Structure 1
Amino acid sequence: MDHEVVIAGGGPVGLLLACELGLAGVSVLVAERGGPQDRELMDQRALNLPTIEALDRRGLLDGVRKAQANSLKMFGLGREEEPLAHFALIFVGARDIHAEDPELARHRPFADCGVVGLYELRTLLAARAAELGVEVRYGAAVTGVAADEHGVEVDLGGHRVRTQWLVGCDGSHSAVRKLAGFDFPGVEPEFTTRHAMVELDRPELMPLELFTDAGMLMHAPIPDGPHLLGLTEFGRVPADRNAPVTLEEVQASLDLISGSGARITRLHTASRYTDTTRQASTYRRGRVLLAGDAAHVHPPFGGQGLNLGFGDAVNLGWKLAATLRGWAQPGLLDTYTSERHPVGKWVQDWTMAQTALLRPDPRSRALRTILRDLLNTRDGATYVVRQVSGAWQDQVPDLGIAEHFRDGRGVLVSPRADARLAELAQRWRDRVNVVTAEAPENLLIRPDGVLAWRGDDLIAAETAFTTWFGTVVR
């Protein structure tokens, strides 16, 4: 075998997965079809609680916080001014919610979450991957996949490599997904959104928000800089969604939606997306797996996409490493699909509901008015923040023990020394760290932060150890 795992796609999800595997000493090749990415102002992503906590467990949070501070400064915002969440572009902030909501309070303060530049995030993860011995190969597009029961032959543009496992983290148009024959059911798009950074001749003509029969406009002036435009047209999907976005295309969309008369004098950068919503029916076919946008696509409302992909990566990484190292219980790898597919389905339903509320028809507008009233209540605002933040997901609350997850192992934490439990845990000492720390009770926590067992029942504890950390020779 040339590599134990080949990951197609060198974006944040692929790089985080590579880091997770690298912690276990797995030989990893990240094959990126493009080159190293440049910094783009518009490439900002929101991070939710599970993502922040996952990065904290791996010692990457300080770097992320620095990048977040730079993003806020760039847009002229302070932390207290940053919206916490939105539902169908109805925004809520820190002052709108119940500050002591139990589900939010049991995690790190939500103020730790925010936007981060994609370039900075990718740079941080690439540096960590390099430290762990991961090889990243640019200009390596996957053009062929031939899998058998022992491994996968991967054609990288004429150069063939053999690997035990192939993971497609290569985005919404995933070559791995197509070549490996994954089903990808879903719904076709209703709208097209263009995001653009532009110079305007008369910016004073532009409202910050506008909803018309043709679509909607979001306008964000950058202090001492250009203007960010979000232009959404319903019922108009371009024939070639991958064609470069031109100044003329953005101007035509601006004219159609706003009719303001403002002219774009310069187009710095632009992108286009639709609300296509699809999800692979399974995330694994034999020795080929999918993660991130390769496994699920949806409109990017609420910044769910990157967080969903990061959740895939931290769930899959340790399970695939355990499988490679031979100690995984039969079926452990299949829990990747059974655990992550429902989360992906929730995100798709959450974003499709927002599409329905943003339609320009009278019924949708009436429903949007009612929902805005609901979100103007503390209960309504708190509900949206709780959902968007990921506080509802099955993660152990912050216990101040993140440093004990740095090596990618599980953690057994006890509020007091327990000789019997410690003796039991010794059988898995190469896979689980034992910590005495303040906690409500004995907790066995998986490497991805998910609770595996709690309480004092040693028989149940042994079952949990065996289920998630395999059998051992006594």
Structure 2
Amino acid sequence: MDAPVIVAGAGPTGLMLAGELRLAGVDVIVLDRLERRTGESRGLGFTTRTMEVFDQRGLLHRFGEIGTSNAGHFGGLPVDFGVLDSVHRAAKTVPQSDTETMLEGWARELGADIRRGHDLVSLHDHDDHVEVEVRGPDGEEIWLTAHYLVGCDGGRSVVRKTAGFDFPGTAATMEMYLADIKGVDLEPRQIGETYANGMVMCGPLGDRGVTRIIVCERGTPARRRTEPPSYAEVAAAWQRITGVDISHAEHEWVSAFGDASRLATEYRRGRVILAGDAAHIHLPAGGQGMNTGIQDAVNLGWKLAAVITGNAPESLLDTYHEERHAVGERLMTNTKAQGLLLLSGDEVQPLREVLAELIRYEEVSRHLAAMVSGLEIRYDVGRGSHPLLGLRMPHLELVADNQKTSSTRKLHSGRGLLLDLEDNPVLRDRASGWADRVDVVVGIPHGVQDDSPLAGTAAVLVRPDGHVAWAAPGSHHDLPMALERWFGPSRI
């Protein structure tokens, strides 16, 4: 094999996956058809859940100072995200180009083999390996083999199409524009400010004098472009909607997008796996696409590594589809709902008004904010009464080995984590057969409130992706059963 895993696509999803695999010691080749990053910043910022994910790998500091905010929306209706229970707030100022730069640097530091200018042309899924045909930088034909191929190559995924994945859904009904411009003074316009014939949004991108604009003109037919639209098209649409002429502005880049909504029926077929936009496309409402892709990668990476290294059976990969496809379905539902609120005309104004009334209730705001942020995700990890089962482990300050640390810091290595919060030697002995895969930490919790789901918790088993797989008291299956389910058989 040229590598155990080949990843197609060096966007945020593919780069995050490469880093996760290298944390587990698995070699990976990342192929990308572009010879260099475009520098375009389609995705902007991170949801609260992605901030948590980056923090659990010790990556947040690599971005420098990050502007965060509790201000959010659902379909253009303001929602206070400050009601969420997290130590993080959503990031608003990090362009996708910076995210890709950071992730590529991290993956390369860990030893990922990233090959730019390598275009995947075809693939052949055999019983025990995958063979891919690649067109190299000079047009040469290259054949590579791997145990698994992961398509992280975007909404028009060659991997998805060539491997024959079904991708049902709805086609785009309209075309919208996005651009970063300079040399024009525009008042910030919040998403959701509608006009008779459309909706626009604009706001500054950091302190570089760049303004991000989004233009959604009703009645603009969907089209399949092979090249980006001209800036003249974008400026003309902006003027038709707002009456303001921005044609004199300097544009850094422009792009078009639509409201297509599609979800692959399966995320894995044999030795070919999909993640990110290759598995799901939708209206980019709330910036959920890139964030969901990054979280796909974090769910998949440790499972794929465990199977490749022989620590877990191949059936563990089935849980990737089971867990993340359900997230994809939820993503389709909420982005379609937001599309109706954002892009429809006056006929949905009564619905907007009723929903705006409901959002004033904190419970409704919390529900919608958690949906968009990914904080509502709970995986099926087994029966039990502990409130944390299947949820992501909340940040917990600890004192371990007479030093201050945290549950988040203990996940930096990408290994499993058993937190023994009552210094129980019997518990640790039962977990000793998994010492090569699971770190056991005896810790004294600090700052746990009486109403916290961690109150009264004796021990927690945390998967490498941060989700709780077992907790005591309250789990209906034994700790060794949970360890074997998620980390493979005991070594003793």
The TM-score with structure 1 as length reference comes to 0.89
Query: 2 CA distance for matches of 1:386 and 1:436?
Result: 31
2:223 is aligned to 239
1:91 match: secondary structure = strand
Query: 2 CA distance for matches of 1:134 and 1:455?
Result: 38
For residues 92-171 of structure 1, what are the structure 2 equivalents within 5 Å?
A: 92-93=79-80, 98=83, 104-105=84-85, 107=86, 109-111=87-89, 113-157=91-135, 158-171=141-154
Instruction: Give how far 1:319 is off.
Output: 0.7
Query: 2 CA distance for matches of 1:133 and 1:263?
Result: 46
Query: 1 CA distance for matches of 2:202 and 2:476?
Result: 58
Query: 2 CA distance for matches of 1:221 and 1:50?
Result: 24
Instruction: Give how far 1:113 is off.
Output: 4.2
What one-letter code is carried by the residue in structure 2 that aligns with 1:193?
A: M
Pairs aligned (count): 451
Query: 1 CA distance for matches of 2:117 and 2:159?
Result: 16
Matching of residue 183 in structure 1 with residue 166 in structure 2: yes
Q: Is the contact between residue 200 and residue 227 of structure 1 (CA under 8 Å) also seen in structure 2? A: no
Q: Is the contact between residue 17 and residue 313 of structure 1 (CA under 8 Å) also seen in structure 2? A: yes
What one-letter code is carried by the residue in structure 2 that aligns with 1:60?
A: L
Matching of residue 27 in structure 1 with residue 27 in structure 2: yes
Q: Is the contact between residue 329 and residue 468 of structure 1 (CA under 8 Å) also seen in structure 2? A: no
2:77 is aligned to 90
2:485 is aligned to 467
2:392 match: secondary structure = coil
Q: Is the contact between residue 14 and residue 169 of structure 1 (CA under 8 Å) also seen in structure 2? A: yes
2:400 is aligned to none
Q: Is the contact between residue 198 and residue 216 of structure 2 (CA under 8 Å) also seen in structure 1? A: yes
Query: 2 CA distance for matches of 1:186 and 1:159?
Result: 34
Query: 2 CA distance for matches of 1:311 and 1:43?
Result: 18
2:439 is aligned to 433
2:89 match: secondary structure = helix
Instruction: Give how far 1:36 is off.
Output: 2.4
Query: 2 CA distance for matches of 1:201 and 1:451?
Result: 49
What one-letter code is carried by the residue in structure 2 that aligns with 1:301?
A: A
Q: Is the contact between residue 358 and residue 365 of structure 1 (CA under 8 Å) also seen in structure 2? A: no
1:333 match: secondary structure = helix
Q: Is the contact between residue 202 and residue 262 of structure 1 (CA under 8 Å) also seen in structure 2? A: no
Matching of residue 373 in structure 1 with residue 376 in structure 2: no
CA RMSD of aligned residues (A): 2.3
Matching of residue 61 in structure 1 with residue 60 in structure 2: yes
Query: 2 CA distance for matches of 1:121 and 1:85?
Result: 21
2:422 match: secondary structure = coil
Matching of residue 291 in structure 1 with residue 275 in structure 2: yes
Instruction: Give how far 1:151 is off.
Output: 0.6
Q: Is the contact between residue 45 and residue 96 of structure 2 (CA under 8 Å) also seen in structure 1? A: no
The TM-score with structure 2 as length reference comes to 0.86
Instruction: Give how far 1:380 is off.
Output: 3.7
What one-letter code is carried by the residue in structure 1 that aligns with 2:164?
A: G
2:303 is aligned to 319
Instruction: Give how far 1:224 is off.
Output: 7.5
Q: Is the contact between residue 214 and residue 360 of structure 1 (CA under 8 Å) also seen in structure 2? A: no
Instruction: Give how far 1:44 is off.
Output: 4.7
Quickly say closer, same or farther: Cα 1:458–1:383, change in 2 above 3 A. closer
Instruction: Give how far 1:386 is off.
Output: 2.6
Which stretch has the larger CA shift, 84-93 or 344-353? 84-93
Instruction: Give how far 1:458 is off.
Output: 9.8
Matching of residue 309 in structure 1 with residue 306 in structure 2: no
What one-letter code is carried by the residue in structure 1 that aligns with 2:478?
A: A
Matching of residue 269 in structure 1 with residue 268 in structure 2: no
Q: Is the contact between residue 67 and residue 116 of structure 1 (CA under 8 Å) also seen in structure 2? A: no
Query: 1 CA distance for matches of 2:167 and 2:189?
Result: 39
Which stretch has the larger CA shift, 296-305 or 387-396? 387-396
Query: 2 CA distance for matches of 1:15 and 1:269?
Result: 23
Query: 2 CA distance for matches of 1:343 and 1:289?
Result: 16
The percent of aligned pairs where both chains have the same amino acid is 36
Higher helix share: 1
2:399 is aligned to none
Please give the per-residue CA displacement for 1:205-262, whole angstroms capped at 9, x wherever unaligned.
x976752332112233566724432110234234333322202211221233223355
Query: 1 CA distance for matches of 2:480 and 2:357?
Result: 50
Question: Where in structure 2 are there 5+ consecutive unaligned residues?
Answer: 136-140, 378-390, 397-405, 446-453
Query: 1 CA distance for matches of 2:10 and 2:48?
Result: 23
1:407 is aligned to 413
Query: 1 CA distance for matches of 2:356 and 2:147?
Result: 51
Please give the per-residue CA displacement for 1:348-368, whole angstroms capped at 9, x wherever unaligned.
100000111123333212211
2:333 match: secondary structure = helix
Question: Where in structure 1 are there 5+ consecutive unaligned residues?
Answer: 73-78, 99-103
What one-letter code is carried by the residue in structure 2 that aligns with 1:470?
A: G
Instruction: Give how far 1:200 is off.
Output: 6.6
Instruction: Give how far 1:265 is off.
Output: 4.1
Quickly say closer, same or farther: Cα 1:39–1:291, change in 2 above 3 A. same
